[in-house]
C-alpha cells in the first residue's frame, strides 16, 4: 500500500519538475544564447520475489540541448561576417569620400583643368580664360587636398574603432575567464551550470564578430581560447591584448602583456587593421601618384614655355608640394595670370603651342600606361568596386549563417507549441498521479473503516 | 523575417532608382558601368571643349575671311584706277589725283588688315599682340610689317590644330612681289605719268588679286573643316550620351515591373509572417 503513495508521489514530483523546466524554456524562448532544456526520466522498480514491481519515476538529469560543433561552425562564419561587415562599413565611407552622384569628382576637376588649357591654346591672349584656368587649378588642388584629408580622417577613425574593438575583446575575455571559473566549479560538483554555459555561448558569439579564434574544451569543462595561435584564455585567467600603433608608418600591432605578438586577420579587428595598414594607405598613395605626375608633367612643359610679360621660365605648380595634401599652384601664377606659359616662343602673344601640348597630356598614358583621368576614375571607383564585391560576399555568408542558425534553432531553440503540448502532458501526468494518490487514500480509508 | 527586410531594402532601391532616374549613382551599384560612364563623360567634355574652341575659331576665321573679301574689293578698285591710268588719254592732273586715291586705298588696306578680335590681331600671325602693319616711309612699300609666319590656330581635336587666319607675311608676299611695293610702284608710276610702267604693272596687280582670292578660299577650306568637325562632335555627343544613359539610367519599364513583383513578394511575406505568429497553441489553452 505504501508503494502506491510513493509511486504517485514520484509522479507528482516528476510532473512538477518537468513543468518547471518547461516553464523556464517558455520564458527564455527569446533569451539570446539560451538552449532548450529537457528532463530525462527513468522508471524505478525492484525485483520482488519472482516478479518485477515498478516503484515510480526518477528524474535522472536535466539536459541542455546544444550542438557544439554547430556553434564552432557558426562562429567561424560570424568571424568572417564581422570582417566583411567592418570592411563594408569603411568602404562605404571611402566611397562617399571619393565619388558622388552629382559628379563633381576628381575626374571632372582634372577634365575641366585640361579643358581650359585646350581653350587657352586656342585663345592665348584672353585674360578671362587665364583667370578661369587658375581658379580651376585651385579648385583641383583643393579637391585633392580635401580627399587626402578625408582619407586621413577615415584612417584615424578606423584606428580608434579598432582600438575600441580591442577593448571589447578584452572585456569579453575577462567575462569568459569568470564564466570559466563557475563552469569548472559546477562541473567539479557534478552539477553542470546551464545558465553559465548559455552565457558562454553568447559571449563567444560576440567575440567571434570581433576576432578570429580557436577554442578547446578541457576535461573539467574549462574553455581555452587562442587568437592567431597565441593563448589568450586558459583555465584560470585571461591574457589581455594591448594595441601598439605607429601612426607614421601606419602599423597596428597587438601584443600580450608578456610582449608576445598576436596576429589576427579575421573579424572586425582584423578588418580594421587591414584597412588601416593597407587599403586606406593604398588609396592615399594612388592619389599622391596623381599629384606627383601632374606636378612633374605640367611643370616640365610649363617651364619650356613663355608667359605674356617676360621671358622667365616658371613652374605651374609649386615644385615643393608634390603630394595630394600639398599640391599647390605657384603664387606667382596665382597673382598674375599673364605668367601662365601658353607660348612656345618668347614674345608671341598669340602662340598657344605649349598650352596645346599641355592639353594633349590628357590623352597621354602618364601613369602605368593609363591616362591621368582614367587613372583617377579608377581610383574614385576603387572603394565602390570593393564594396560591390563585399556586398555579394556578405549576402552569401548571410544565407550560410541563416542556415546554420536554423539548424541550431532546431536543436536548441524553444518551440513554444512543443512546450505548450508538453505542458498539457505534464498537467495530465500530475492529475493522473494525484488521482492515483486519491485512490490509494480511499483504499486506505476503506481498510481503516473495517477496523473501526 | 529576413526575407521581409530583404524585400524592404529592394523596394527602397527601386524607389530611389525611379525617383532619381539613375540605377548607377555610386561605383558600388555597378563598378564597371560607373567607370565606363565616367570615361565616356570625360570624352564628351573634351569634345565639348573642342566645340567651344571651334566656335570661337569659326567666329575669328569668318571675320578674317570677310576682311579678306573686303580687301579684294579694295584691290579691284586699285586695279580699276590702274587700268584707267594706263590709258594714254588720261591727263597728268587726273593721274596725280589717282595716285592720291591709291595712297588712300593703301591706308584703308593697312587699316583693314589691322583687324583685331578681342586683344588678338588676326593677321599678325602669333605675334598677335601687335598690329601687323604700320605706315612707315622707309619700309618696303611704305608699310612696316610686324607679323610672323605662324598663323594663329585653334585646338580642334586630339592633335588637330586648324589655322583660323592667314599671316600678314603671307598676305604681302604675293607671286608678283610684295603687295604694298606693287601698290607703291603704281602710285609712283601715276605720279611719273609713266603709262608704260602702268601697263607693265597690270599683270602684277592681277597677281595680287589672285593671291588674295587664293588665301580667302584656303581660309574657306579651314572654315569648312571646322564646321565639319563641329557637326561630327555634335552627332558623336548624341551617341555617347545615349551610351551613358544605357549604362547608368533607370529602365523605367523594368523598374516598374520589378516594383510590382517585389511588392507582391513583400506583402505575401508579411501576410505569411503574421499568420504564422497568429497561430499558436496558446489560443487553444
Supply φ then ψ for residue A38, to 5 degrees: -135, 145
Query: Is residue B215 exposed (0-12), middle (13-18) or buried (19+ Cβ within 10 Å)?
Result: buried
Residues 6 or more apart whose Cβ sits within 8 Å of residue B134: B110, B143, B144, B146
Beta carbons of B153 and A359 less than 8 Å apart? no
The mean pLDDT of B70-95, rounded to a whole number, is: 88
Neighbouring C-alpha atoms within 13 Å toward the C-beta of A74: 22
Which cell numbers hold the place of A216? 578547446
pLDDT at B169 over 80: yes
Closest C-alpha to A126, from A359, A353, A350: A350
Q: How many angstroms separate the CA of residue A359 from the nearest CA in chain B?
A: 9
Residues 6 or more apart whose Cβ sits within 8 Å of residue A218: A224, A235
A205–B contact, CB cutoff 8 A: no
Task: Supply the ipTM of this predicted assembly.
Answer: 0.86
Beta carbons of A101 and B158 less than 8 Å apart? no
| Cα separation values, B142 from A69, B180, B203, B239, Å | 106, 7, 21, 56
| Cα separation values, A257 from A76, A241, A243, Å | 27, 7, 10
Q: What pLDDT sits at residue A387?
A: 93
Q: Which residues pair with A215 in a beta bridge?
A: A225
CA-CA distance, A311 to A309, in Å (whole number)?
7
Beta carbons of B34 and A99 less than 8 Å apart? yes
Show which of residues 128-147 on chain B sit within 8 Å of chain A, judged by CB atoms: 128-130
Which cell numbers hold the place of B75? 584691290
pLDDT digits (tens, 9 = 90+) for B179-231: 999 999 999 999 888 888 888 899 999 999 999 999 999 999 999 999 999 99
pLDDT at A201 over 80: yes
How many CB atoms are located within 10 Å of the residue A190 CB? Answer: 6
Using alpha carbons only, how large is chain A's radius of gyration in Å?
A: 38
B45–A contact, CB cutoff 8 A: yes
Supply φ then ψ for residue B71, to 5 degrees: -65, -30
Residues from chain A contacting residue B148 (CB–CB below 8 Å): 348
Beta carbons of A350 and B120 less than 8 Å apart? yes
DSSP single-letter state for residue A452: -
**Cα B187 off chain centre by:** 40
For the ranges A95-104, B59-68, B249-258, the maximum mean pLDDT occurs at: B59-68
pLDDT at B285 over 70: no
Q: Tell me the residue ranges of DSSP E strands in chain B.
A: 116-117, 120-121, 133-135, 143-145, 153-157, 160-163, 173-174, 177-178
CA-CA distance, A223 to A200, in Å (whole number)?
9
CA-CA distance, A421 to B282, in Å (whole number)?
10
DSSP single-letter state for residue A41: E
The mean pLDDT of A252-261, rounded to a whole number, is: 91
Q: What angle do CA A169, A229, A224 make, to 5 degrees?
A: 65
Beta carbons of B30 and A351 less than 8 Å apart? no
Q: How many angstroms separate the CA of residue B185 from the nearest CA in chain A?
A: 32
Mean pLDDT of all residues in chain A? 91
pLDDT at A118 over 90: yes
Q: Name the residue facing A99 among B27, B30, B41 (closest C-beta).
A: B27
Residues 6 or more apart whose Cβ sits within 8 Å of residue B35: A377, A378, A381, B27
Q: What angle do CA A120, A121, A123 make, to 5 degrees?
A: 60
pLDDT at B281 over 70: no
Residues 6 or more apart whose Cβ sits within 8 Å of residue A225: A173, A176, A207, A213, A214, A215, A216, A231, A232, A233
pLDDT at A102 over 80: no
The mean pLDDT of B74-89, rounded to a whole number, is: 89
Contact B151, B165 (CB under 8 A): yes
- How many percent of chain A have pLDDT more than 90? 67
Contact A255, A244 (CB under 8 A): yes
A362–B contact, CB cutoff 8 A: yes
Residues from chain B contacting residue A352 (CB–CB below 8 Å): 126, 153, 155
Q: What pLDDT sits at residue A245?
A: 93
Q: Tell me the residue ranges of DSSP E strands in A223-375.
A: 223-227, 230-233, 241-246, 251-256, 261-262, 365-367, 370-371
Q: Three-state SS string across B34-88, please?
A: HHHHHHHHHHHHHHHHHHHHHHHHHHHHHHHHHHHHHHHHHHHHHHHHHHHHHCC
pLDDT digits (tens, 9 = 90+) for A303-315: 999 999 888 889 9
B150–A contact, CB cutoff 8 A: yes
Q: How many angstroms separate the CA of residue B57 from the nearest CA in chain A?
A: 8
Q: Which residue has the higher pLDDT, B34 or A61?
A: B34
Neighbouring C-alpha atoms within 13 Å toward the C-beta of A250: 19
A126–B contact, CB cutoff 8 A: yes
The mean pLDDT of B147-173, rounded to a whole number, is: 91
Query: Is residue A248 exposed (0-12), middle (13-18) or buried (19+ Cβ within 10 Å)?
Result: exposed
Beta carbons of B49 and A118 less than 8 Å apart? yes
DSSP single-letter state for residue A281: H
Supply φ then ψ for residue B131, to 5 degrees: -60, 135
Which cell numbers hold the place of B280? 499558436
B23–A contact, CB cutoff 8 A: no
Q: What angle do CA B3, B9, B13 make, to 5 degrees?
A: 140
Closest C-alpha to A137, from A276, A339, A317: A317
Helix (H, G, I), strand (E, B) or coil at B129: coil
Amino acid at each position: 500500500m505504501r508503494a502506491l503513495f510513493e509511486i504517485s508521489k514520484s509522479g507528482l514530483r516528476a510532473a512538477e519538475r518537468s513543468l518547471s523546466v518547461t516553464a523556464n524554456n517558455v520564458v527564455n524562448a527569446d533569451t539570446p544564447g539560451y538552449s532548450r532544456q529537457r528532463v530525462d526520466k527513468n522508471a524505478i522498480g525492484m525485483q520482488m520475489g519472482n516478479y518485477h514491481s515498478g516503484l515510480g519515476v526518477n528524474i535522472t538529469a536535466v539536459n541542455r540541448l546544444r550542438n557544439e560543433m554547430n556553434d564552432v561552425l557558426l562562429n567561424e562564419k560570424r568571424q568572417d561576417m564581422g570582417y566583411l561587415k567592418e570592411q563594408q562599413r569603411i568602404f562605404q565611407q571611402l566611397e562617399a569620400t571619393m565619388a558622388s552622384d552629382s559628379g563633381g569628382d576628381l575626374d571632372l576637376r582634372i577634365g575641366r583643368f585640361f579643358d581650359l588649357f585646350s581653350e587657352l591654346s586656342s585663345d592665348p591672349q584672353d585674360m578671362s580664360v587665364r583667370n578661369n584656368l587658375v581658379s580651376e587649378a585651385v579648385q583641383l588642388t583643393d579637391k585633392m587636398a580635401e580627399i587626402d584629408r578625408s582619407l586621413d580622417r577615415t584612417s584615424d577613425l578606423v584606428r580608434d574603432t579598432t582600438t575600441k574593438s580591442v577593448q571589447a575583446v578584452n572585456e569579453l575575455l575577462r567575462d569568459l575567464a569568470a564564466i570559466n571559473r563557475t563552469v569548472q566549479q559546477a562541473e567539479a560538483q557534478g552539477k553542470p551550470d546551464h545558465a553559465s554555459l548559455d552565457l558562454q555561448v553568447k559571449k563567444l558569439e560576440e567575440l567571434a564578430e570581433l576576432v578570429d579564434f580557436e577554442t578547446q574544451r578541457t576535461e573539467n569543462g574549462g574553455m581555452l581560447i587562442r587568437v592567431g595561435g597565441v593563448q589568450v584564455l586558459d583555465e584560470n585567467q585571461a591574457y589581455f591584448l594591448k594595441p601598439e600603433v605607429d601612426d607614421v608608418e601606419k602599423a597596428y600591432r597587438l601584443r600580450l602583456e608578456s610582449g608576445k605578438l598576436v596576429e589576427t586577420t579575421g573579424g572586425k579587428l582584423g578588418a580594421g587593421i587591414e584597412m588601416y595598414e593597407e587599403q586606406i594607405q593604398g588609396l592615399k598613395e594612388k592619389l599622391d601618384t596623381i599629384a606627383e605626375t601632374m606636378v612633374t608633367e605640367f611643370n616640365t612643359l610649363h617651364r619650356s614655355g613663355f608667359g605674356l610679360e617676360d621671358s622667365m621660365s616658371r613652374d605651374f605648380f609649386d615644385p615643393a608640394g608634390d603630394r595630394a595634401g600639398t599640391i599647390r599652384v605657384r603664387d606667382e601664377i596665382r597673382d598674375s595670370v599673364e605668367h601662365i606659359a601658353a607660348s612656345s616662343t618668347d614674345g608671341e602673344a598669340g602662340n598657344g603651342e605649349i598650352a596645346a601640348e599641355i592639353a594633349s597630356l590628357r590623352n597621354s598614358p602618364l601613369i602605368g600606361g593609363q591616362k591621368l583621368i582614367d587613372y583617377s576614375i579608377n581610383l574614385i571607383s576603387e572603394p565602390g568596386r570593393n564594396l560591390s564585391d563585399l556586398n555579394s560576399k556578405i549576402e552569401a555568408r548571410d544565407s550560410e549563417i541563416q542556415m546554420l542558425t536554423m539548424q541550431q534553432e532546431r536543436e536548441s531553440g524553444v518551440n513554444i507549441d512543443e512546450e505548450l503540448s508538453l505542458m498539457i502532458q505534464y498537467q495530465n501526468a500530475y492529475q493522473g498521479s494525484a488521482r492515483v494518490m486519491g485512490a490509494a487514500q480511499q483504499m486506505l480509508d476503506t481498510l481503516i473503516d473495517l477496523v473501526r | 523575417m529576413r526575407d521581409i527586410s530583404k524585400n524592404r531594402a529592394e523596394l527602397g532601391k527601386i524607389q530611389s532608382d525611379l525617383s532619381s532616374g539613375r540605377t548607377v549613382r555610386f561605383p558600388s551599384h555597378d563598378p564597371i558601368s560607373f567607370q565606363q560612364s565616367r570615361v565616356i563623360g570625360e570624352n564628351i567634355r573634351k569634345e565639348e571643349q573642342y566645340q567651344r574652341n571651334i566656335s570661337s575659331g569659326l567666329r575669328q576665321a569668318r571675320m578674317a575671311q570677310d576682311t579678306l573679301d573686303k580687301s579684294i574689293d579694295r584691290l579691284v578698285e586699285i586695279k580699276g584706277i590702274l587700268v584707267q591710268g594706263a590709258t594714254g588719254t588720261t591727263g597728268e592732273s587726273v593721274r596725280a589725283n589717282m595716285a592720291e586715291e591709291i595712297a588712300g586705298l593703301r591706308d584703308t588696306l593697312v587699316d583693314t588688315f589691322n583687324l583685331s578680335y578681342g586683344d588678338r590681331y588676326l593677321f599678325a600671325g602669333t605675334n598677335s599682340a601687335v598690329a601687323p602693319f604700320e605706315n612707315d616711309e622707309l619700309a618696303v612699300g611704305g608699310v612696316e610689317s610686324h607679323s610672323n609666319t605662324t598663323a594663329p590656330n585653334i585646338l580642334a581635336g586630339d592633335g588637330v590644330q586648324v589655322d583660323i587666319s592667314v599671316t600678314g607675311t603671307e598676305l604681302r608676299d604675293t607671286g608678283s612681289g610684295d603687295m604694298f611695293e606693287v601698290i607703291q610702284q603704281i602710285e609712283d608710276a601715276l605720279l611719273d605719268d609713266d603709262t608704260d610702267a602702268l601697263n607693265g604693272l597690270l599683270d602684277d596687280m592681277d597677281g595680287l588679286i589672285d593671291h588674295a582670292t587664293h588665301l580667302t578660299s584656303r581660309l574657306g577650306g579651314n572654315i569648312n573643316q571646322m564646321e565639319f568637325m563641329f557637326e561630327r562632335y555634335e552627332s558623336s555627343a548624341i551617341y555617347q550620351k545615349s551610351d551613358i544613359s544605357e549604362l547608368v539610367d533607370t529602365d523605367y519599364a523594368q523598374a516598374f515591373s520589378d516594383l510590382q513583383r517585389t511588392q507582391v513578394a513583400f506583402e505575401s511575406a508579411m501576410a505569411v509572417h503574421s499568420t504564422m505568429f497568429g497561430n499558436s497553441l496558446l489560443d487553444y489553452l
